[in-house]
Every structure is written in C-alpha cells, then in structure tokens.
Chain A
Amino acid sequence: MDKLQQLSNIRAEEVNISKITDFFETIKNVSDISTEGAQDHIVKSDNLREDEVINCDPEEKALIMENFPAKQGTYLVVPKVIQ
C-alpha cells in the first residue's frame, strides 16, 4: 500500500493527487516576498482562561454514549489493539 495512504489511515486506491501537487511547483517558484508590516491574524496564546473542571451535562453524556459505534450491554466495544 502507498505510504501516504498508510500515513493518512485511509484505504484509497482510486484517489489521484497529481493535480494538487501542481501547486507545489507554483509555491516553490514564488520569490521576493516582503513580510514587513504583516500582522499575525491568529490570536496569540497569551490570554488563556484558568483550567476549570465542569461536569458533563447528563443529556450531553447520553448523546456521546449514543454515538459510540459499538456496544455490548453497558460496555463500549473498541477494536482489538494487541494482536
């Protein structure tokens, strides 16, 4: 299997990314970039709130449990990790 599919955890034999990789050449060829005056538009992490323990709303908890893909009685079933 293709390494990128393994890296992506996706089985996707039919997918062709060659059109997207054309963008790589475009970006490589960009030159003379002036960044003077640029403002970071992502907010800096200097205004963090205090950690706070909040109990999950029971209705929200029930919905999270309902979304679990596999259950046996009250147990949540996950794929076998150790072979």
Chain B
Amino acid sequence: MSQSIIQDIQNKLNNKEISCVQLVQEKIDALSASTKNANNAILADQALKQAEAYDKKLAAGGKLTSLEGIPFGVKDVYLLKGTISTASSNILKNYKSPYTATAIQKLIDAGAIPVCKENCDQFGHGSTNENSVFGPVKNAFDDTKVAGGSSGGSAVNVAEGSTVFSIGGDTGGSIRQPAGYNKVFGLKPTYGRISRYGLMAYTSSSDCVGPFANTVKDIATTLNVMSGKDGKDQTTVPSNEIDIDSFSADIKPGTKIGVYKSFIEHPSLEPSIKAGFDALIEKLKAKGVEIKELDFFDGDTLTATYYIIALAETASNLSRIDGITYGNRAMDRDNLASTYLDTRGEGFSEETKRRIIAGNQVLSVGYSDEIYKKALQVRKGIEAKFAKDFEEVDFVLSPTSPLLPPTIGDSMKDPLTMYLSDMYTVGFSLGGLPTLSAPFDVPNNVQITAAKGKDEEILRFAYAIEQGLATSQKG
C-alpha cells in the first residue's frame, strides 16, 4: 500500500511520467463519468488553466513541491471565489462566492487545484446525504445505499479516486461517518485548529474543517497546510507542524486505549461492527497495548445534547439567509413578512426547515432555561468527563456508527433513527476533540480520539496501525 498518494502523484509529475493537464483531465473525466451524484459542479476550465501553469513550471526545469499540481474536491459549503456555492440548497442555487474560505485558499496557495464542488446535505443538515436539492449521493460500493453525510460527495470522490483528497466539514460526524460508509480516512481536527472563515455556518461551536484521503500521511499533509491561527476566525488556535517524515510503523510502547462500555454495549450496535471492533482491540492487545473500559454518557443523552445545541445555533446562523441581499428571493409578495416567509419556505428543504423551527423553539421563552441551558450544562459535564478520561488513557477507540449504511430513501421517512445514528460521533464534537475515522478492520471504520490538541498523536498511532496491523476494509 502506498504511504502517500499525494507524494506518488507528485513524483510522477516531476519525473514527467504524466503532465499536470493530463492528470487534471483524468480526474475531470472520472468526475463527469461517475454515476454517484457526488458533485454539484465540476470546475474544468479553471482547473485546467492552473494545471497548464504547473506544466510550464516543469517545462522550465522547475520541480513541484508541497501540494503543487494535486487535484482536490471541495464540499459545497465552502466559498471559492467566483464559483457557485449552493450548500445543496434551493435558496443559494445561484449564489456566487465573493471570496475564498481561508482553509481552501491555503490549499490553493500551496499549489493544490480545486476540481469540483461536492454534493452534501443541505447546510450540513443530515447524516445520509439525501437532504440535497441535487438528490442523494450513492455509496461508493453500493448504488442502493446512502453515502453518509453530510459530506457524502467528498467521501465518495476520494473512495473512487476522482479526487486525491477532498475537504469536508464536520459538525457532529459529517466527515467521520461518510468516511466510514465509503472506507476512506476522514479527520475532524481539534476545534479551532483550522479556520472556519468562508465555511457556511451550521453550529459554530462545533463546526470543523477537515480532510478526506486514502492514507494517513495524506491526511497529515493536508492538515499541516490548512492549520493555523486566522485573524478572520477568533476561535482559531495556534498549532505545531506535524513532522510526517518521523512517523513510525511501530506503536509507541506503553500506549493506553480507552473503550466506552456504553458504546459497545448499546443494543442498536450492528453485530458485524461489534465483531470487527472487538477483533481490532484483540490485535492491539497482542501488540502490548493496554485496554481500559470506561464509563461514559449513554448515546441517547449525547444525541439529545448535541441536537438541542445544534438546532439552536443553526436557527440563529441561518436567520441571515433571507433573500434580501443575496439568495433566491420570492418576488412580488404583498408585504415584507410574506417575502421572508415565502423566500425561506421555498428556499429551504423540509429537513432544514424542521431544524430551524425546532431551534427557535429551543431558544424561545419557556424552553430556553429548561432545555437549551440544560444542554449547555450537560455539554460541560461531557467536557469534564473527557478531561478526566484523557488523564488515564492516550486514545479512545469506538465504532463510527452503530448501523451499516441505510438504503436510500429509508432515513428520510424516519429522521429520529437518522439522528440516533450519530450517537458515536456527536460526543467528541461537543468536546471539541480531534477524531480520525480510519478504515481499519471495522465495517464503517473505527474512530480514534485523543485529548484536545493531540491531532499529531492520533495520526502517528493510526500510521502505525495502517502500516503494521490493519486489514484493508475496502469494498
């Protein structure tokens, strides 16, 4: 298995085994030919123009470095100047980005070439990628199953090799769960490690920018480029560059792993997922890793806490989208109130409307203290429990989802089941912790979580498993 697909491709470009234009054209052809409905737009003209510039550099005797010449995908909730950015919604179906998100600009500045805007759940509202005005994204391995969400298009493109890496967004599991359903790596970094400027806000207190890729080193490479404090996002924190060259195939001696009993004993956990997870734990034990069972909040409490906070924040964040200064406006209404009601009524999907309306209920008199503030208090309790747990263990391992990918159409009939399928991902989001969804042994991937700021430690541990321990779960 390749250690870094980014490096392999760049070596081919530098050795002139393939031109950058050929490479980008291959990816555009693959994206165009795909039947997975993973893309809202393909950026052929501008991508080929950028590729020509790198071919000129090579022809002049230059060498490509960093991410120069590498094609990548962008979830359609990021602004990319001059391109249509829809958030998979009707209301923004014609919205043209006036500027570029910080994380995406950093990748472009490092030489990466955006080739597509990827289908996703509308404004991140979903776990199956069916809540899209462009229709559902199909799973990379089974056309009848969902891709997962909300960053489903990004996961599928990476799984199919149509992009070398893709940038998703993770609020409550929207990178990790589709990474699991499509058997690729997906990282939700520590909250604040990557700027959210230019990412359409869903739940500002847990929205994270993160990469999908096919190797741990490619995740680390893209993370290094995107990380750092940004004056345009007050919540960003400084971070050190990860020394990727020093990654080792050996697990660090004395590594301690925590496993949450409430997760692995949950009655809705699919038996094949549990069996795969148990097998991975046994392999780690055989390598000398100490395993410790830990008590934790139950999945229902985690899901309720997350959704109450997420609904409140999305109701607030999306109140700015009203068709007055941008977005599709309902024209010729009798009065201002009807213009707002119809613009937003026609512009948002049923699921997005449900979340906004429920969010306003959460924030209204009579509910704010009893529901919203209580959820904030429980969140503090969850953060306190994480702080205690990571004094005892280095990592917590868990399945990514209790369920195998559902059949397309089933989840929209039963949103509650969809919400509860997030029970293993939302807790780590509430804590702002770094978590990697990795395609090791477990159907739907295993999650590796560490204390805040320990993103590098997760990637080092995952690299050791990738190189020496894991069985590929592709397909």
Contacts and interface: CB of A to CB of B under 8 A. Distances in A.
A16 B383 contact: no
Given A12-B345, A83-B335, A43 B311 contact: no
B132 to A, nearest CB: 18
Contacts of A20: 307, 311, 354-355, 358, 415, 419
Interface in A44-81: 45, 47-49, 57, 59-61, 63-64, 66-70, 78-81
A22 B300 CA distance: 11
Nearest to A5: B357
B378 A27 contact: yes
B262 to A, nearest CB: 14
Contact of A17 (B82, B358, B419, B432): B358
A31 B304 CA distance: 14
B344 A80 contact: no
In terms of DSSP, what is the predominant structure of the interface of chain B? helix
A27 B374 contact: yes
A36 B384 contact: yes
B336 A27 contact: no
B340 interface: yes
B90 to A, nearest CB: 13
Contact of A33 (B327, B381, B416): B381
A55 B311 CA distance: 35
A10 B381 contact: no
B301 interface: yes
B345 A48 contact: no
Given A20-B311, A38-B387, A9 B340 contact: yes
B182 to A, nearest CB: 27
A35 B380 contact: yes
20 contacts: A4-B360, A8-B353, A8-B357, A9-B341, A11-B342, A17-B354, A17-B358, A19-B416, A23-B419, A24-B371, A26-B303, A28-B374, A34-B381, A34-B384, A35-B383, A39-B383, A41-B383, A42-B191, A64-B98, A80-B336
Interface of A: 1, 4-12, 14-17, 19-24, 26-28, 30, 33-43, 45, 47-49, 57, 59-61, 63-64, 66-70, 78-81, 83
Q: Which 8 A-B pairs have the closest CB atoms?
A: A41-B432, A11-B345, A33-B381, A63-B98, A26-B304, A38-B384, A23-B304, A69-B329
